[in-house]
């Protein structure tokens, strides 16, 4: 049975415009789906009253033929975006009870376009993780299961709640943030589409910061078109974010021409890493064939510094995080655990308020910035970052877009890799280089593993050329014709 919650965002938009159903009906269906999917723990906070109130206002506008770009479309918001009047946690104990009196720019743009908020989604604490198990509010479950098994799997992370919700049909789309792969990797694990735009494309104002030079908001949805629609609303210059780019936002949906004839698709040889499964290799081969079949030309390219990307990222991101998280000190908001001195209060608050992975990264970050270590770690990592950017600049002389797998494997079971942070960090090996270079990347589901789990392909584009990325992704999506559905969810 196909209900309203099974519609794509574009289908729902068109249905609302032609008044096939009301925004209220759609919101009610989505609220039901969110409730049905509660077992996944994808949401930290559900906001059904707000959704209904927003839907009624959308209906009023739609009835007058004054529908806005996203009018009446229910979305899930990663709980890293500050939402005025709604609890915002970053999945951390340290933000206990924190309800912002301000709205992030990205969510403000969504509401101004008529979108409806279903709730705030779960994530790895402060967006630090690739599994969405590192949450004060408990782990998120992937709605997918391995064939014949019922072991709960991770949805990827850190935007795992958003990816799981979208996969489970509990939301037509969702916001995510991507620092080293936090949109693309969970999209791949959950069989949905996730896009990280160019650094500077979306404002970071009002998004709880993890690593400021890498953090970037982006959409997760079930189709490339849906991502294009959402990104068009989320993007745009914001004078309140000094790193946001004063560049016009193109019509991303219009970029989906379906025509990639003559397009040069780069295949980086360095992405054939040890330990990459045969089926990932095969999927990549399919991607190449599909694009060539559609008239694109593939070229082998070299990104020689790829192997340094992960260590470089795990120095720079924690360094920035160690300063960004210094404000959580128990003085002004959130958790405070008393102590016998101000230092005692800091220590008690931060010891209790932060989870293990956050503490690990704050310690790493503090270490690499310390006197005597700065040059050897932080400065060297910055230089490597520059080299990685140059790799891409050179590659884009030969190619218009780059095709890679999104992750080296499919989703793993909750509890796996927990005692091995390096194995966990390897999840991001294909997504981190584009993050360091600030380039746009998209992950879309392209097939199933032998065990029946979704596998994603990634496309990376030139800075501010999301249009080519989306256009190519649209062609891959059509060719892959991915129509598998997860075993657990709220939509069925």
Partner 1 sequence: MTLIQGRTGEWECVIGLEIHAQVISKAKLFSGAPTDFGAEPNTQVSFVDAAMPGMLPVINGFCVEQAVRTGLGLGAEINLVSVFDRKNYFYPDLPQGYQISQFPRPIVGKGSITLDLEGGETRTVGITRLHLEQDAGKSLHDRDPGATYIDLNRSGVALMEIVSEPDMRSAAEAGAYIRKLRSILRYLGTCDGNMEEGSLRADVNVSVRRPGEELGTRCEIKNVNSVRFVQQAIEYEASRQIDIIEDGGEIAQETRLFDPSRGETRAMRTKEESHDYRYFPDPDLLPLELDADWVAGIKASLPELPEAKKARFMADFDLNAYDAGVLVAERETAEYFEAVAEGRDAKACANWVTGDLFAALNKAGLGITDAPVTASSLGALIDLIDDGTISRRIAKEVFETMWRTGNDAAAIVAEKGLEQISDTAAIEAEIDTIIAANPGQVAEFKGGNEKVIGWFVGQVMKATGGKANPKTVNEILRKKLAD
Residues that bind partner 1 (CB under 8 A): 81-82, 88, 90, 95, 98, 100-102, 104, 204-209, 211-213, 239-243, 319-320, 322-323, 325-327, 329, 331-333, 342-343, 346, 366, 369-371, 374, 378
β partners of residue 459:
403, 442
Cβ distance to partner 1 smaller for residue 22 or 322: 322
Nearest partner of 459 among 225, 288, 304, judged by Cα: 288
- Tell me which of 58, 78, 188, 322 is the catalytic residue: 78
Q: How far apart are CA 328 and CA 346, in angstroms?
A: 9
Q: How far is the CB of 27 from partner 1 (least distance, A)?
A: 27
Tokens 């990797």 appear where?
185
Nearest approach in angstroms of CB 374 to partner 1 is 7
Which residue has 């906070």 as its token pair?
A: 45
Residue number, 21 or 98, with CB nearest to partner 1: 98
Q: Which is nearer to partner 1, 138 or 239 (CB)?
A: 239
Alpha-carbon distance 436 to 444, whole Å?
A: 21
Residue 405 C-beta: closest distance to partner 1, Å: 29
- Helices 380-398 and 306-324 pack at an angle, to 10 degrees, of 130
Instruction: Select 366 or 451, whichever has its Cβ closest to partner 1.
Output: 366
Task: In angstroms, give the least distance from the CB of 102 to partner 1.
Answer: 6
- β strands within 199-277, DSSP E: 216-221, 264-268
Structure tokens at 454: 């979704």
Nearer to partner 1 (CB atom), residue 12 or residue 209: 209
Active site annotation includes 130: no
Q: Is 182 a catalytic residue?
A: yes
Q: Give, in order, the Cα–Cα distances in Å from 458 to each of 169, 354, 359, 369, 441.
A: 22, 32, 31, 33, 7
Question: Least separation, in Å, of the C-beta of 178 and partner 1?
Answer: 16
Query: Closer to partner 1 at the Cβ: 362 or 424?
Result: 362
Catalytic residue among 135, 182, 409, 443: 182
* Secondary structure element (H or E) that encloses residue 52, with its range: helix 48-63
Distance CA 395, CA 386 (A): 14
Alpha carbon distances (Å) from 377 to 120, 132, 297, 314, 321: 36, 28, 40, 10, 15
Q: Give the alpha-carbon dihedral of 68, 70, 74, 79, to 10 degrees.
A: -110
How far apart, in whole angstroms, are the C-alpha atoms of residue 138 and residue 123? 9
* Smallest gap from residue 242 Cβ to partner 1 (A): 5
Q: Least separation, in Å, of the C-beta of 18 and partner 1? A: 38
Give the nearer residue to partner 1 in terms of CB position, either 309 or 403. Answer: 309
What is the token pair recorded at 230? Answer: 């959402």
- Annotated catalytic sites, by residue? 78, 158, 182
């Amino acid at each position: 049975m196909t209900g309203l919650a099974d519609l794509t965002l574009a289908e729902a938009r068109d249905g609302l415009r032609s008044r096939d159903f009301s925004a209220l009906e759609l919101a009610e269906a989505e609220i039901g789906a969110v409730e049905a999917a509660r077992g996944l723990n994808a949401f930290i906070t559900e906001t059904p009253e707000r959704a209904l109130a927003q839907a009624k206002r959308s209906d009023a506008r739609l009835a007058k033929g004054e529908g806005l770009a996203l009018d009446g479309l229910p979305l899930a918001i990663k709980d890293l975006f500050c939402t005025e009047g709604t609890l915002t946690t970053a999945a951390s104990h340290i933000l206990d009870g924190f309800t912002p009196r301000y709205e992030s720019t990205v969510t403000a743009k969504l509401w101004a376009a008529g979108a409806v908020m279903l709730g705030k989604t779960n994530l790895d604490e402060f967006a630090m993780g690739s599994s969405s198990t590192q949450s004060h509010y408990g782990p998120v479950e992937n709605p997918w299961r391995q064939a014949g098994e019922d072991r709960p799997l991770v949805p990827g992370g850190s935007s795992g709640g958003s990816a799981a919700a979208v996969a489970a049909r509990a939301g037509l789309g969702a916001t995510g943030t991507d620092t080293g792969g936090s949109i693309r990797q969970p999209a791949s694990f959950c069989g949905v589409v996730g896009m990280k735009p160019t650094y500077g494309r979306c404002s970071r104002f009002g998004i709880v910061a993890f690593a400021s030079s890498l953090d970037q908001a982006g959409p997760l949805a079930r189709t490339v078109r849906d991502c294009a629609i959402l990104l068009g609303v989320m993007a745009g210059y914001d004078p309140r974010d000094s790193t946001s780019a004063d560049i016009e936002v193109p019509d991303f949906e219009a970029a989906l021409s379906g025509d990639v004839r003559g397009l040069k698709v780069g295949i980086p040889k360095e992405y054939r890493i040890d330990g990459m499964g045969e089926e990932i290799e095969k999927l990549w081969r399919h991607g190449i064939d599909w694009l060539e079949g559609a008239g694109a030309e593939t070229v082998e390219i070299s990104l020689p510094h790829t192997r340094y990307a992960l260590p470089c990222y795990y120095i720079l991101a924690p360094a920035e995080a160690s300063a960004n998280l210094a404000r959580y000190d128990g003085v002004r908001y959130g958790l405070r655990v008393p102590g016998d001195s101000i230092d005692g209060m800091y220590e008690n608050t931060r010891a209790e308020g932060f989870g293990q992975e956050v503490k690990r990264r704050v310690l790493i970050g503090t270490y690499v910035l310390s006197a005597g270590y700065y040059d050897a770690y932080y400065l060297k990592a910055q230089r490597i970052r520059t080299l990685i950017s140059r790799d891409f600049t050179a590659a884009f002389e030969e190619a218009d877009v780059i095709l890679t797998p999104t992750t080296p494997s499919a989703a793993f079971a909750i509890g796996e890799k927990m005692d091995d942070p390096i194995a966990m960090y390897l999840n991001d090996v294909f997504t981190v280089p584009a993050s360091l270079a600030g380039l746009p990347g998209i992950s879309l589901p392209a097939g199933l593993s032998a065990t029946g789990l979704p596998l994603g392909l990634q496309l990376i584009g030139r800075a501010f050329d999301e249009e080519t990325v989306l256009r190519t992704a649209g062609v891959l999506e059509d060719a892959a014709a991915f129509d598998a559905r997860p075993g657990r969810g709220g939509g069925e």
